[in-house]
Amino acid sequence: MMEVYKTKKIITHNLIKGVNPDYQRLSSFSPTYIASNENVDDYLNLIGVKPNQKVLTVLASGDQAFSLISMGIKDIDTFDINGLAEYMALGLKRAMILKYNYEEFKNALEIFNDYYTKEAQVNELISDLLPFMDLKYRVFWQKILNYNHRLQKLLFQNQNLISLLVVENIKDLNTYFKNISYLKNANVYDTLRHQLNDANISFKACNVTKLTEKFAGNYDLLILSNIMDYLFLNYGLDWTYPKLLQLEQDLEKIMSPEGLILLHYIFSYDFVDQKLFGFSHVYAKDLIDEEIKSIANSPKENPSIILKRCKKG
C-alpha cells in the first residue's frame, strides 16, 4: 500500500526532526486534520440542508460529511487533495463514532488531542477501534501501529501517534463541540451513530480544480470549506477574480440547475476592501453574483461564507 509507505515517511520525519510547520505542506499525502476549526453547524443551518439533497464536500476531518449525515443525508461524495484525510476521517474517526457513545467519543478525542498522551495509550485506543473499520482502513492502521511502535522503541521515543499525523491539535474542545452539528449534544450524536452504517460516503483524491473530471455531477450542494486560501499554489500571482469566475463556471458543470456552492469559509470578515483568500488578489468589492453571508457574531470575529447560486436554463 503506497498510502502506508507515505504515512511512514511522515511519522519518521516528525519523530526524527520534530513536527515542523514547514513540513505541513498541502500535498497528495501530508499531515491532515482530526477536527474542523470552522463553525460548521451554523453555516449548514444557514444554507438550509435538506435530507434529499445530493452533496459533494471536501473531506478534510470528516466533520462536514458526518454533520450532513446527522441531518438526514445518506449519500455523500467527498474529495480531498490529501489522501491521508480518507484514512483519518473514514477510517479512524468513523470507527470512533460507531464504537463510542457521546461521552466516550469526547473522552477518546481528548486523549488523541493531547500532545503529551503516551504512545501506548494511543496504540491501545486505535487497536480497539480496528474491528469497527472497513478492511481497507483496518489493514492500514494495523500496519501504521506496528511501524510506529517499532520506530519509537528504536528511537527511545514515547509520542502520541495522532499528533505526528495532524497539522494541528484542537485548540478549544468546548468550542469545537459547539460548532460541529453532530457533536452539539448526545441526541444528535446518537442520530448519526444510528444512520452511519446505512450512509454511503465515497472518496476521491483530487484538487478542487479537477472536480469536473472526477465527478459526474448534478449536485444540489457543493462545500469547499476554505480551499480558496490555498489556490495560490495553482495560480500564483494570477489568483484574481477572473480566475475565480473561471473556476465557478467550471464547477457549475457538475451542479444541478439551482445548485448552491459554498465557495469559501472566511474566518473573520470585516470590510469591503478585504482580501478574501490567502495570497490572492480577490477582494470583497470584486464580487458580482456571489454572496457573503455572516454566520455568527462575536466581539472579535465575524465568520462568514461566500455562496454562489447556480442559474441554469
| The three cell numbers locating residue 248 | 465557478
53 pLDDT exceeds 60? yes
Distances (CA, A) of 241 to 46, 84, 216, 247, 268: 25, 31, 26, 10, 20
Q: Is 48 helix (H, G, I), strand (E, B) or coil?
A: coil
* pLDDT tier at 302, thresholds 50, 70, 90: confident
Question: Where exactly are the structural domains of the chain?
Answer: 2-309
- Nearest-angstrom CA–CA distance, 244 and 200: 31
299 pLDDT exceeds 70? no
Show the 3-state SS of 53-108: CCEEEECCCCHHHHHHHHCCCCEEEEEECCCHHHHHHHHHHHHHHHHCCHHHHHHH
Task: Give me the pLDDT at residue 115, please.
Answer: 92
| The three cell numbers locating residue 227 | 480551499
Q: Is 243 helix (H, G, I), strand (E, B) or coil?
A: helix
Decide yes or no: CATH 3.40.50 for domain 2-309.
yes
18 pLDDT exceeds 90? no
State the chain's mean pLDDT as an integer. 93
- Nearest-angstrom CA–CA distance, 51 and 166: 31
Task: Give me the pLDDT at residue 234, please.
Answer: 83
Task: Give me the pLDDT at residue 296, please.
Answer: 74
The larger pLDDT score, comparing residue 28 to residue 14, is at 14
